[in-house]
Amino acid sequence: MRFDVGIIIEGGVGKHIAFSAALSEARKRYGEIVLVSAYPEVFVGNESVARNLSFSFPYLYEDYLKDIKLFKLEPYLEDEYRLQKKHIIDVFASRLGIECERKPEVKILQQEEQEFLAFREKVLENKNYLVIQIRGGTPPLNPELAKQKAHFTRDYPEELAQKFVDLFRKKYPDWYIVQIGLPTEPKLHDCVYLTNLPVRAYFPVLKYCNTFVVIDSFLNHLSAALGKRGVVLWGGTNPSNLGYEHNINLYDTSLCEEIFCGRPGVFDHSWKCKRNFSCMRIQPELILEKVSSLIDAKV
């Protein structure tokens, strides 16, 4: 089979999900795509990808990339992203010379869906449930790095998250709360923990939830792919760059005069926050109010 273009993307799961929005139009412009990425599992079933490969694939360059046009996409270094605060999907599209909607595309396999629906019936009793995620930025393939984190500009403080859980359970006692994360991250009381699953296993979890409260991480991007509405908490990162209008993008400018600072960036990992990540100390009562507005709207 002849391939026309190679596209290389690194970074986290959320970045990969966001990039999926550009694939259909990229194929129309360039032809058959060889996609090389850190998380090829995100693109399983995507018909716009001719070959979906990892960086460790044998003879990758010689057999697939040597004689074709190549794009290596790093939106965080683009002026459109850094200075103009354009959305990451728009920056991907600009770099590829295309236009596309801010609509990521993921496929959930039938077996994945069936396995989760069995879990939902057995453990969640087919009841309403809310998904919560309070930590992010640690590669799932190396969860031990979560213990070495020094920066929390995207993470929601554990004690405030627990207060939110307590308030939510009091108001909605018949609901379950499903916490998503890594096994090395803090676990909240009175939740169902899904903290040791492969990335794709979380896709149906979000698909069938009633709503969610998450930080700026992969579930934020997945919600756009699946059309799920919830509350996304913002501090150091900017919803203009990474958010989606269908969600409630919640932040409090009174907590930090440098909110959306974007730090630590690609080049300043030695940066120390002078305000102890106060930007993410959004009050649990406010989060509950916003979540309740979504729940009430569906009644």
Mean pLDDT on 43-65: 96
Instruction: Decide yes or no: CATH 3.40.50.1820 for domain 110-298.
Output: no
Question: What is the domain partition of the chain in residue ranges?
Answer: 5-96, 110-298
**Residue 285 amino acid letter:** E
Q: Mind giving me the DSSP string for 65-94?
A: ITTSEEEEE-GGGSHHHHTT---HHHHHHH
Q: How confident is the model at residue 299 (pLDDT cuts 50, 70, 90)?
A: very low
pLDDT at 196: 79
- pLDDT band (50, 70, 90) for residue 1: confident
CB neighbour list of residue 163: distance below 8 Å, 6 or more residues apart: 284
Question: 99-126: per-residue pLDDT in tens?
Answer: 999 999 999 999 999 999 999 999 999 9
pLDDT digits (tens, 9 = 90+) for 142-165: 777 767 777 899 999 999 999 999
Residue 229, both tokens: 């509405």
d(CA 74, CA 55): 16
> What are the pLDDT digits (tens) for 63-80?
999 999 999 999 999 999
